[in-house]
Amino acid sequence: QGARVIQLNPSSSSRYRQSGEGAQIENRQRSMEELSVQGSSSGNLKQLLILCAKALSENNISDFDNLIEKARGAVSISGEPMQRLGAYLVEGLVAKKEKSGSNIYRALRCREPEGKDLLSYMHILYEICPYLKFGYMAANGAIAEACRNEDRIHIIDFQIAQGTQWMTLLQALAAKPSGAPHVRITGIDDPVNKYARGDGLDAVGRRLADISEKFNIPLEFHPVPVFAPDVTLEMLDVRPGDALAVNFPLQLHHTPDESVDVNNPRDGLLRMIKSLNPKVVTLVEQESNTNTAAFLRRFNETLNYYLAMFESIDVTMARDHKERINVEQHCLARDIVNIVACEGKE
């Protein structure tokens, strides 16, 4: 079913809509007292983090400092889902308060593991998190259906990552009664990303070559280590006679629109793709606005979206499993901190 959206409790949200500064302060103090009495259950921790974000959005630094200390004592990277997510939300909130979000985000990127380890963590996330796998399977199904009668297929993937998504599609195309089509995959990836650094995209090419040999399907791979908004038509090498499929897997929410950049790179990218007249365009995206929303709404949507993801992981992997902590830290935490702490193009 895609990402599950957990709605905030309307009764707690309504507190923030009361008018008058005195009423707001009184209600916030009452909320803090209730949280102290009730302890730090998952629900209370969630409300505590929302209060932290609320105080920060109102520039009420005294309340924020008190609340964030309570939150620090309630979170844990090896605890239950809300505690694990809370650890990264706390880091993002503190970074936003200190106006160091960009520096913190860059530091997190610098602490990335080697490319092969990060690819391994991404593969684990793909296996244990149903949202990603379902999205990729749905995209593959749409491409297979649209190109079922084609002899030459060109797939432009705007976030190739490991290239694992294409294994099942290539296997299905290879089994066609009329014979396997010729497939060309253009793999685009962030040039700063570990996937695209060193031999990252070369490794993807080797993986796809192995799949090609295993399933006996003719395959070309064209790596493009460029930020998505900077891609040009010349880089894509679109050829006459190829059925064109364009794949945007969790990519467009990273591409700025007019609310972030007056040049509207997202619109420019989509217009360029439209001009190519593709046979099919597949889009996999999260069910939340974590890119352009105002801070408090963005925080709430981030909390709800990632809580659903952390809860799904909790069902499939033990809490004390070292690989689970690595997956959450290296594949999810950077985006969480970035969304909470940074603004605009950052």
Tens of pLDDT along the chain (346 residues)? 333 333 333 333 334 344 444 455 455 555 555 554 444 466 799 999 999 999 999 999 999 999 999 999 999 999 999 999 999 999 999 999 987 655 655 555 445 566 667 777 888 888 888 888 889 999 999 999 999 999 999 999 998 888 888 999 999 999 999 999 999 999 998 877 655 444 678 888 999 999 999 999 999 999 999 989 999 999 999 999 999 999 999 888 777 777 667 788 899 999 999 999 999 999 998 877 766 678 999 999 999 999 999 999 999 999 989 899 999 998 899 889 988 988 766 5
Phi, psi (degrees; rounded to nearest 5) at 306:
-75, -25
For the chain, give every domain's residue range: 10-112+289-341, 148-278
CA 170 vs CA 98, 142, 203: distances in Å:
48, 13, 18
> What are the tokens at 136?
């990729």
Global pTM reads: 0.76
Query: What per-residue confidence (pLDDT) applies to 288?
Result: 76
Query: What per-residue confidence (pLDDT) applies to 291?
Result: 66
Residues 6 or more apart whose CB falls under 8 angstroms from that of 306 comprise 85, 332, 336
SS3 8: coil
Nearest Cα neighbor of 201 from 162, 249, 146, 147 is 162
CA 223 vs CA 6, 91, 202, 252: distances in Å:
38, 35, 8, 19
Range list of H helices, the chain: 10-15, 21-38, 42-57, 61-72, 81-97, 101-110, 115-128, 130-146, 166-174, 200-215, 233-236, 265-275, 295-316, 322-327, 334-341
The answer as to CATH 3.30.160 being correct for domain 148-278 is no
Residue 291 CA to residue 62 CA, distance in Å, equals 28
**Other Cβ atoms within 10 Å of 17 Cβ, number:** 7
Query: What per-residue confidence (pLDDT) applies to 248?
Result: 95
Nearest Cα neighbor of 192 from 159, 215, 218, 225 is 225
Nearest Cα neighbor of 148 from 126, 181, 125 is 181
> What are the tokens at 315?
């069902």
Query: What per-residue confidence (pLDDT) applies to 287?
Result: 79
Give the residue carrying structure tokens 């990303």: 193
Asked if residues 134 and 162 have their Cβ atoms less than 8 Å apart, the reply is: no
Query: What per-residue confidence (pLDDT) applies to 19?
Result: 46
Give the residue carrying structure tokens 């999260």: 286
